[in-house]
Amino acid sequence: MRTTIDLPEEILAAAKQTGLERGLTLSRVVGEALVLHLQSAKEKDPQFELLEHGELGGKCPSPTQIYQLLDEQERGG
């Protein structure tokens, strides 16, 4: 697919030089660079970050206890 992009001159020159050294077209060099960038960005961007607090071995409240606490909070208790 054809598209037009504006690149800083030094980036364009480096991409062309890389293509010459590796025997690749400019399109191929730019395409590979984009694929690598997008893959690394995806790996660095987890869907969520797990935050851990407290110490291991604590008690976990049951669903019933959680609902009771929520009810107490709603009633102002």
What average pLDDT score do residues 32-56 get? 78
CA–CA separation, 63 vs 76, rounded Å? Answer: 20
Residue 23's pLDDT is 97
Mean pLDDT of the chain: 87
Rg, Å, the chain Cα set: 27
For residues 47 and 35, the model is more confident at 35
Is 32:38 a contact under the CB 8 Å cutoff?
Answer: no
Residue 52's pLDDT is 74
For residue range 6-36, list pLDDT tens digits in order. 999 999 999 999 999 999 999 999 999 999 9
